């Protein structure tokens, strides 16, 4: 059985992710109390279901803390378990609740929406540490759907290296494990012919490859990842997200993400993402 557990902050897109999996043939359950995870998985597996997706979050109460142990027990039974954790910036979540006029599940008379979100982050901290995290702050629904599909298709028995480009002016991705800053390098944005292009276009690639500083920083970042990646593999990590940031997330960071993705694709499962281009 393949079991996808979807968790994360309220308003971060869990319903979108669950719908993607439902469309992909998964038997989906929303807001299942976590103590019932093992029983539901066993029952549905015995009933002939081999693809199951369950959403668990703070609506289920304090039992959410037991999720990591329950997932370990399910894996020991041979279930292919994957934990997907969605999150977003506080200001983004506040805006979403305001636009939809929905009530935060932890909002009480004594708590503002911002305070409820902070409390929810604290309650879910132990779950997020074991998951593949996706920051949905700057993602539209179509991009999130594609990212979820990609995660489901990965081989869970191997580490997945995610290389993500982003623009600092839009904030650092919340799902980043390692962050590298390439803003000090020559910027194609100031070359008129290159400004409308991206780091995936050959003229931009040629421009950056011709810069001594770009080559030196690439070598440093590549060497760092190559040296320390085995330690993450030994630590039984399922995912490692390396974020590369420039000012706008269009040229330099995209170039670095593409090059690093090609470099490590023969050694690990690699996903290359471009947050601002998405």
Cα gap 99→79, rounded to integer Å: 39
- Alpha carbon dihedral 59, 64, 65, 69, in 10-degree steps, equals 180
Which ranges of 77-135 does DSSP label H, i.e. alpha helix? 90-100, 113-128
What does the pLDDT read at residue 271?
Answer: 94
- pLDDT digit of tens for each residue in the chain (278 aa)? 899 999 999 999 999 999 999 999 999 999 888 888 888 988 998 899 999 999 999 887 777 888 888 888 888 888 888 999 999 999 999 999 999 888 898 887 678 899 999 999 999 988 887 789 999 998 999 999 999 998 888 887 788 999 999 999 999 999 999 999 999 999 999 999 999 999 999 999 999 999 999 999 999 999 999 999 999 988 878 889 999 999 999 999 999 999 999 999 988 899 999 999 97
Cα gap 37→180, rounded to integer Å: 38
3-state helix, strand, coil in the chain (%, to 5): 45, 20, 35
pTM of the entire predicted model: 0.84
Backbone φ/ψ region at 8: left (φ over 0), alpha (ψ -120 to 50), beta: left
pLDDT per residue over 100-147, tens digit each?
A: 888 898 887 678 899 999 999 999 988 887 789 999 998 999 999 999
Query: Quick one: 65 exposed, middle or buried, by C-beta within 10 A (0-12, 13-18, 19+)?
Result: middle
Is the separation of the CB atoms in 12 and 34 below 8 Å? no
What does the pLDDT read at residue 109?
Answer: 65
Which ranges of 2-112 does DSSP label H, i.e. alpha helix? 14-23, 37-46, 67-76, 90-100
Backbone angles phi, psi at 131, to 5 degrees: -115, 165
β-strand partners of 178: 242
Q: Three-class SS of residue 265?
A: coil
What does the pLDDT read at residue 86?
Answer: 96
Cα gap 241→234, rounded to integer Å: 16
pLDDT per residue over 40-61, tens digit each?
A: 988 998 899 999 999 999 887 7
Domains assigned to the chain: 2-153 (3.40.50.300), 160-274 (no CATH)
Distance of CA 266 to the CA centre of its chain: 22
Cα gap 179→173, rounded to integer Å: 9
């Amino acid at each position: 059985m393949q079991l996808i557990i979807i968790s994360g902050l309220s308003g971060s897109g869990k319903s979108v992710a669950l719908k993607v999996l439902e469309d992909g043939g998964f038997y989906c359950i929303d807001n299942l109390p976590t103590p019932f995870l093992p029983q539901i998985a066993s029952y549905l597996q015995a009933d002939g279901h081999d693809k199951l997706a369950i959403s668990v979050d703070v609506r289920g109460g304090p039992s959410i803390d037991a999720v990591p142990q329950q997932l370990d027990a399910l894996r020991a039974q041979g279930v292919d378990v994957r934990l997907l954790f969605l999150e977003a910036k506080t200001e983004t979540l506040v805006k979403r609740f305001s636009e939809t006029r929905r009530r935060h599940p932890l909002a009480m008379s004594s708590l503002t929406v911002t305070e409820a979100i902070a409390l929810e982050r604290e309650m879910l901290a132990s779950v997020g540490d074991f998951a593949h995290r996706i920051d949905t702050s700057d993602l539209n629904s179509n991009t999130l759907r594609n990212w979820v599909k990609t995660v489901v298709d990965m081989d869970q028995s191997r580490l997945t290296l995610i290389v993500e480009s982003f623009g600092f002016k839009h904030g650092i991705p919340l799902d980043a494990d390692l962050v590298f800053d390439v803003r000090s390098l020559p910027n194609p944005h100031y070359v008129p012919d290159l400004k409308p292009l991206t780091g995936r276009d050959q003229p931009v690639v040629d421009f950056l490859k011709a810069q001594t500083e770009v080559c030196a920083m690439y070598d440093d970042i590549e060497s760092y990842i190559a040296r320390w990646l085995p330690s993450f593999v030994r630590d039984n990590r399922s995912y490692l997200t390396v974020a590369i940031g420039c000012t706008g997330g269009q040229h330099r960071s995209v170039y670095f993400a593409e090059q690093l993705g090609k470099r490590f694709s023969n050694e690990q499962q690699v996903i290359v993402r471009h947050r601002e281009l998405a």
